[in-house]
Amino acid sequence: MDKKNILILTAQFGAGHISAAKAIKYCILNNNSNYNIIIKNFIDASVPIMNKPMIKLYESNTKYTPGLYNYYYYLKKSFDPKLDLSNKIYTPNLIEYILDINPDLIISTFPLAASCVDNFKNKYPEKYIPTITVITDVVDSLEWIFSSTDMYFVPSLEIKNRFMQKGINPENVKVTGVPINKDFHNIEKTKSDKYRLLLLGGGRGLFDFNESFIYYVDDILNTNNHLLEVSIVTGKNKKLYNNLTNKKPLKNINVLGFVNDMPSIIKNTDLLITKPGGATLFESIHSDTPVIVRNPKIGQEIENAKFIIDKGIGLIYNDEDDLKRIFDNLVLGKLDLTIDFMKKNILYLKNTLEYDKISDYILSLLKN
């Protein structure tokens, strides 16, 4: 095929949308190295002055007013996305950007970007450009669904079934899982005679438990180092890193700051204590690693947590006392069978995902 221009529209609301965009770029280039692929924050391409304020608003709402965030989130889950006024803000300039780029294919990893692309296709039906939408959480909200979308990459068979119930042709819905860094597919998991636990707070190093809990775990390891090996990734949280390494150094937990080899770290973990984000969830799935997450407060993470429970691939805790009981049961050997059960469920789930066919599906759209 001739060289193609592929535009991937994403957003900075959490790391998952961008990581999915990068993963898809790799999948394409791995099989078609001559393609020109552009990853673009759709807000930067339309109204760039809005990007930082919108990110701050998102972070503030999810942290301080989750109830308000959820009201709007679940409202969007069931109403026509055309009614979202944000369309009118971002669509005009994004249309001009698309016309300037003149891509052969547009892929969206954020719902509002997909909505703006739908507006473009309705305004310029004669400029037919195939489009793909990549769902980055285990959700079926209407904000992701548009009549002009040619193909969807969804995280699970259940979401495909729900899309079918909403009138989407099942042939156009591919169960790929959330696309993740290629190294999660290339690195082999090593074995250990201990349970290897990883405390992960994302790039910003923000956790769903207090600092005192970390020292509680450190104390447990005084007498259980033969059973457990624990690491914590503090990311960009320099204050926490300094507290754990200098101010009051941990004795038994391996403290890592910002890391560049996350695939290798997660791949060689037996239990992951983290937030229930879509990207992290599928990184753990492809690493054969059960997750332990706190009962979340915001919409998409609530849906991801339901998925964890329904698939039996992790444990949900309500508070730190609940998490301490999980640790206590772990060192007493009471979770051994549970962990084996979760790992079997992960293996079964992985076999339902067609992540290795992402490039083939994209190529099929370009050919047609």
Q: What is the mean pLDDT of residues 261-265?
A: 90
Model confidence pLDDT, tens digit, residues 3-28: 889 999 998 787 789 999 999 999 99
Pairwise CA distance, residues 322 & 317, whole Å: 6
The rounded Cα 156 to chain-centroid distance in angstroms is: 13
Q: Give the confidence band of 153 by pLDDT, cuts at 50, 70, 90.
A: very high
Q: Give the confidence band of 309 by pLDDT, cuts at 50, 70, 90.
A: very high
Domains of the chain: 5-177+354-367 (3.40.50.2300), 184-350 (3.40.50.2000)
Q: Give the confidence band of 65 by pLDDT, cuts at 50, 70, 90.
A: confident
Which of 10, 20, 9 is closest to 358 using CA atoms? Answer: 20
DSSP annotation string for 172-200: GEEE--S---THHHHSPPP--SSEEEEEE
Is the pLDDT at 161 greater than 70? The verdict is yes
Q: What is the mean pLDDT of residues 232-244?
A: 90
Q: What is the mean pLDDT of residues 79-96?
A: 79
**pLDDT mean across residues, the chain:** 89
The rounded Cα 343 to chain-centroid distance in angstroms is: 20
Pairwise CA distance, residues 335 & 69, whole Å: 35
How many Cβ atoms from other residues are within 10 Å of residue 264's Cβ?
16
pLDDT of residue 55: 75
Is the pLDDT at 191 greater than 90? The verdict is no
Pairwise CA distance, residues 362 & 130, whole Å: 10
The b/e string for 52-81 (b: 16+ C-beta within 10 A; e otherwise) is: eebeeebeebbeeebeebbeebeebbeeeb
